Structure 1
Amino acid sequence: MDKNMNYGEDYKYIPATSIASGTGIEVLPDLYQFTVQIVNIVMVGDPKKDEHFVLIDAGMPKSVSMIQRAIEDRFGVDSQPKAIILTHGHFDHVGALIELVERWNVPVYAHELEIPYLTGQKQYPEPDATVEGGLVSKMSPIFPNDPINLGDNVNVLPADGTVPELPEFKWIHTPGHSPGQVALFREKDRALIAADTFVTVKQEYLYRVMTQEKEISGPPRYLTTDWKAAKESVEKLAQFHPSVAVTGHGLPMTEEELTKNLEKLVQNFDDIAKPDYGKHLH
């Protein structure tokens, strides 16, 4: 293990949370969503069958204890995943990653276009506080933006679309919110881990984030830099006709509710998701 890992100089605890923080939802027997303040991590694996599971994303800064407790509550004391899959590298998806890798010494995987942001080579564009939205957009400049450096501890996802340690899933490139964002899809039951390609809460508005008011939306506006690609990524996922979706922010959606809302988002993306103003509009 490469021990020369570090967070950016601006990594810090962010005092933003929701009523769902610290709670989990068993979406399917082997698909478990756990909310860390304002973001979801996912555990893929059935604790009733075996202890083999994979962790998707790594929560908010300073959340390692919360994540560790959640995993032990679900899979037992001293449990650890076979791998960590990153949907992308924004601060709220890698916040506890270094501590978890140091503790578990497990492989981490991400899309090749995301690797520079995970190895200290490139920095994401600054969050856009001017974008149309509420208080979360306004406070976004305080969010950590310096790149994390995982050194040699991050690996490129296989080019053939397979997901290490999750043979039934395939990864789907869904850029727009970040260059190398991926979603994960399982054909047999059409289960989708959508990352921030679309979410089920208006992430720009603090009240809705705090109360987790359920509403389909596009990716969080303050960190989305390519709206054309973001729209195309939503359209791409809709073509898989998912039966259940876990998103990076908000509550799961299933069956008819998901189908109707995803179709609505595809048809009205510019009205629902795309902001009327902001520095990344073209």
Structure 2
Amino acid sequence: MSGVREVVDGVFELSLGVVNVHVVVTDDGVVLVDTGLPRNVKRIDRALRGLRKSIGDVRAVLLTHHHFDHVGTVAEIRRRSGARVFAHAADAPVITGAIPRETPAKGMAKLAARLIGSPEPTKLDQLITGDETSPLPGFTALHTPGHTRGHLSYLLDRDGGVLFAGDTASGTRDGKVTLGPTQASVDPAEQGRSLRKLAGYDFEHALFGHGPAVSGRAAELLRAYAGGSDGGSDGEGEGRP
């Protein structure tokens, strides 16, 4: 199935071009980690149908942060499926529309926002405020600020541990891990500190908002990068929001 990769049993990376959406199949239904750009519901539904699932099977959406390429279809998915949507309280006002969404200032992110449009605001069903909380069985939410103030990463207790790093870190084409995109980050130095925080956890696999997943020894690779880097505060990420 084009654009879909099973990283571990029941955990899929869905590539939507510049950004990834992640699908986790559980006993209670489908969990999505982020929802990609606006106007991508049909692509997500088509990918789910390839897994013998559908939008209607989505029971929860775990959002990593409020940027338009990660929350673009969440309102429609929530409307069509009744899924519960989770996000950090610090990013909630942008997701719900309580405060205006800022257009990316420069680069490809600005062009994409102008061409694709802004995500539809949506209600949130649960706000995450603490660290190492459990929004869903098997998942642990980790507050990893820097890319946005309310950025979250998630650990899934499956197959040695699966990290959903969002945009705190990214995967590279040669199978390594690096700092995530910093062009749209509110505090790249804090993002670097959050990456080093993730390096303190144990997990075998890591999936990212941008770049291919790493399967096997992912925590070791993240520690190797964190140990040899100042955190990437010079903006060495891939430049996507």
Tell me whether the two structures share a fold, i.e. TM-score over 0.5. Answer: yes
Aligned to 1:237: 198
The alignment's C-alpha RMSD in Å is 2.7
Aligned to 1:264: 224
Taking only the aligned residue pairs, the percentage that are identical comes to 28
**Residues 230-260 of structure 1, C-alpha deviations (whole Å, 9 max, x = no match):** 011001100003211011111111323x344
Distance 2:101 2:229 in 1: 24
User: Does structure 1 retain, via aligned residues, the 8 Å contact 2:141–2:154?
Assistant: yes
Gapped regions of structure 2 (runs ≥ 5): 237-241
Q: Pick one of 183, 187, 190 that aligns with 1:222.
A: 183
1:118 Cα shift?
0.8
The 3 A distance-change label for structure 1 pair 217 and 78 is: closer
Equivalences for residues 165-184 of structure 1 within 5 A: 166-184=136-154
The 3 A distance-change label for structure 1 pair 77 and 222 is: closer
The 3 A distance-change label for structure 1 pair 158 and 54 is: farther
Normalising by structure 2, report the TM-score.
0.84
Distance 2:50 2:132 in 1: 31
Q: Pick one of 57, 72, 82 that aligns with 1:95.
A: 72
Q: Pick one of 164, 185, 196 that aligns with 2:155.
A: 185
Tell me which protein shows more strand as a share of its residues. Answer: 2
Aligned to 2:239: none
Runs of 4+ deviating beyond 6 Å: none
Equivalent residues, number: 232
- Partner SS for 1:195: coil
**Residues 49-83 of structure 1, C-alpha deviations (whole Å, 9 max, x = no match):** x4622111111121110001111221335642111
Q: Which amino acid aligns with 2:191?
A: A
Larger radius of gyration: 1
Aligned to 2:18: 38
Q: Pick one of 89, 98, 105 that aligns with 1:121.
A: 98
1:149 aligns with 2:121: yes
Normalising by structure 1, report the TM-score.
0.73
